[in-house]
Structure 1
Amino acid sequence: MDIYFEGRTVLVTGAARGIGRGIVEGFASRGAKVYATDILEAELAELKASSRVARGGEIAVRRLNVTDPDDVSTCIRDMEAESGGFDVLVHVAGGVRGQARKPVEQVTPHEWDDIYDVNVRGAFLVARAVVPGMKARRSGKIVMISSGAGLGISLTGIQAYASAKAGQLGLMQQLGYELGPFGINVNAIAPGFLRTSPDYERQWASYGPEGQKAMIESIPLRRLGEPQDIAHAVLFLASDYASWITGQVLPVSGGPN
């Protein structure tokens, strides 16, 4: 199976590090022109400078705040004018926004909204912006990076994160139903725990050696995931091999646990 994206244009949000970076590199090494977007401009520049491209692939970087509707509309309009439109959208932007576990009665509305804004509102705003172009071409692939937290209990213990990731899956399923008649596939990946950001490194450290050992032993494949594990699943869902798959969530977590 040779999955490649020569002649296709891909938009990745939350692209500067971790899972997003792995996805950008996966597409660019298989011939796609990838617009890597994030609010972390220095890390975007490093990504562009150091990533390997192949088969005519290319990486362009743009600052994009997915929670700002004006920024989303303007930035995506400019990128579409430059590129001719997007064949694939991968929404990665999200996470716990620097928050930590606390009792629900201590959670502020601002803390709740901050997590919802990037994980759910961001997914909605970016999808809303790219869908008209995909509809016009009657073709497109949208992949949302959710979490195992969206399918059950979150290891973070953060109520808003578990709820937002479940909400993201609801959005994905509804869009899959709505956009299918236009030839647009909408799916999601639910990763297991990865050490891909400072927030998750702090979470990992909080377990201590015994807790870390117990987590790995609870995973049937006996290892933590890497960004490439998630990227490979995204590449499949964005490819022609997944043309009859929509409204689905694929757990990528090393096995049921």
Structure 2
Amino acid sequence: MAGSTAGFRGSAPGLAAYVGSKHAVRGITRQSAMELAPHGIRVLGVAPSYLPTEGNRLAAAGVPVQEDSLPLMMTSPIGRIGTPDDIARVVFFCVSDLSMFMTGSTLLADGGTSA
């Protein structure tokens, strides 16, 4: 399931519906895992931080960026901004047998920004 770091903490002013929906994704992930486990189906979520994708760039084009949020969007504690490939690698882990004993979890893929 696709989540966001907003499902673990607040985001920016005016985004209550977005943040609430991401918290809901975490709940649905946990509930679905419980209901589907007897059928051998695992459910995992991935919660990425902001990534400079084409969609995010278009969405942000008309929105003024607050000065204090810019550094969070541009870097992370590991020293770089994430890429779609970084998230794809986490998803690959989730669908592989490497995560075969996991279900109901949402993995943060944010370079440590939620730490």
- What TM-score does the superposition give when structure 1 sets the normalisation length? 0.39
- Partner of 2:64 in structure 1? 206
- Alpha-carbon distance, 1:197 to partner: 3.6
Cα gap change, 1:210 to 1:176, in 2 (>3 Å): closer
Identity of aligned residues (%): 33
Structure 1 residues 188, 211: CA separation in 2 closer, same or farther (over 3 Å shift)?
closer
Matched, 1:240 2:97: yes
Counterpart residue type for residue 78 of structure 2: L
Where in structure 2 are there 5+ consecutive unaligned residues? none
Matched residue type, 2:9 = G
Mark the runs of 5 or more structure 1 residues left unpaired by the alignment. Answer: 1-143
Q: Which amino acid aligns with 2:104?
A: G
Number of the residue aligned with 1:181: 38
Give the CA deviation at 1:156: 6.8
Per the normalisation by structure 2, the TM-score is: 0.83
RMSD of the alignment, in Å?
A: 2.3
Give, as a single letter, the amino acid of the residue that structure 1 aligns with 2:92: L
- Answer with 1 or 2: which has the greater Rg: 1
- Equivalent residue runs for 1:124-139 within 5 Å: none
State the match for 1:224 in structure 2: 81
Distance 1:187 1:206 in 2: 34
**AA in 1 matched with 2:40:** G
Q: Kindly indicate whether structure 1 or structure 2 has the higher relative contact order, using CA contacts under 8 Å at least 6 residues apart.
A: 2
- Give the length in aligned residue pairs: 111
Q: Which amino acid is the alignment partner of residue 4 of structure 2? A: S
Which 4+ stretches in 1 moved above 4 angstroms?
208-211
